[in-house]
Amino acid sequence: MAETVSGDSENFVDLRDLSFCYGSRVIFDHFSLQVPRGKVTVIMGPSGCGKSTLLGFIGGRQRPQSGKVIVNGRQVNGLAKRDLYELRKSMGMMFQNSALLTDLDVFDNVAFPLRTHTDLPATLIRKLVLMKLQQVGLRGARHLLPAELSGGMTRRVALARAVVLDPLMVMYDEPFTGLDPVSMGVIVKLIRELNDSLCMTSVVVTHDVPEGLSIADRVYLLGAGNVVASGDPDYMRTFDHPVVRQFIDGLPDGPVAYHYPAEDYRQELLGRAQP
C-alpha cells in the first residue's frame, strides 16, 4: 500500500527536496515547488532546465533520485504500478506534440480515454465527447483525421482529450509552441476558462513569457537546478533579479550563458585540446 502523505491541503502537488541528474549533469538539486489547488501554475525557464522532467515526475513517468513527489496526498514515487495507474485517472496531459493517434479521427481520439478507462455506454460517451469538442470549438470537425487539422486545431483536440475524463489536474507541456497568434490566443483562453469552469488545477510548462504570465495565478522561474524566483505575474514582471530580468525581458546577455561549457576555443582550433 502506498504512503499517504499529510501536508498542506491547499496544494494539489508538493515536490519536496528533489534531486535528479542525467549522468554527471545536475538537473535538480534539493528542489522544492508547490502547485496550489484550483489555480493555474506556470513553470518557466530556459530550454534544458528540467521543466518537462517535472511533469514526468508528477505523472510518475520518471522518478527523482531523492525527494518526494506528492500529488493529492499520495507519494507518486512510492506507488505500485496499479496504484499509479489509478492516480493517473485524475490527471490529464496535453503533450508538446499533441500526440494524437494518427489513424483515429477527432471524435475517436477524444473518446479514447473514456473507452479505455470507463465502462460507459456508447451513447453517453458520444454525448461527453461532443460536449468537450463543443468547449474547444471543434464539434464540427469530429470526423476529420489528425493529418487534416491545422496546428491550432490539433492542440485543441489534444486539449479536449486531456479534459474528457474531468480530471482534477491537467498538465500542459509547451502548449503554445509553433502556433500562430490567433491559435495561440485561443489556447491561452481555453486553458484559463477550462481551469475555472471545470474547477481543475493546471500546471503549464512554457517558455512563452507573455502567454504564460497572462493566465498564471502563480509563476515559477527555474534555473541552475532550483527555483530562481516565484510569485504572481505582477511580481515576476517587476522583480529586480538578473536571471528573472534576462528571461522575462528576453535579453541576449545575462547570467544565462549563450555558449555551452567547452574547452578553450583557441586551444581546440589548434588541436591541443581533446576532441
Q: CA-to-CA distance for 181 and 187, rounded, in angstroms? A: 10
Which CATH number is 38-60+86-250 given? 3.40.50.300
Cβ(274)–Cβ(263) below 8 Å: yes
- Which segments of the chain are extended strands (E)? 11-22, 25-36, 40-44, 66-71, 74-75, 91-94, 169-173, 201-205, 218-223, 226-231
Q: CA-to-CA distance for 189 and 229, rounded, in angstroms? A: 25
The per-residue pLDDT for 236 is 93
pLDDT less than 70: residues of the chain: 1-8, 258, 272-275
- The domain limits of the chain are 38-60+86-250
Cell of 204: 503549464
The per-residue pLDDT for 266 is 82
The per-residue pLDDT for 260 is 72
The per-residue pLDDT for 221 is 95
Read off the DSSP letter of residue 4. B
The per-residue pLDDT for 25 is 86
Q: Quick count: other Cβ atoms within 10 Å of Cβ 113? A: 17
The per-residue pLDDT for 5 is 57
The per-residue pLDDT for 4 is 55
Give 220-229 pLDDT, tens digit per residue.
Answer: 999 888 999 9
The per-residue pLDDT for 58 is 94
Give 138-181 pLDDT, tens digit per residue.
Answer: 999 999 999 999 989 999 999 999 999 999 999 999 999 888 89
The per-residue pLDDT for 2 is 46
Q: How far is CA 47 from the centre of its chain?
A: 14
The per-residue pLDDT for 94 is 92
Q: Tell me the C-alpha to C-alpha distance, in Å, between residue 96 and each of 8, 84, 150.
A: 30, 22, 15
Query: What residue type is 60 in one-letter code?
Result: G
The per-residue pLDDT for 256 is 74
Residue 198, helix vs strand vs coil: coil
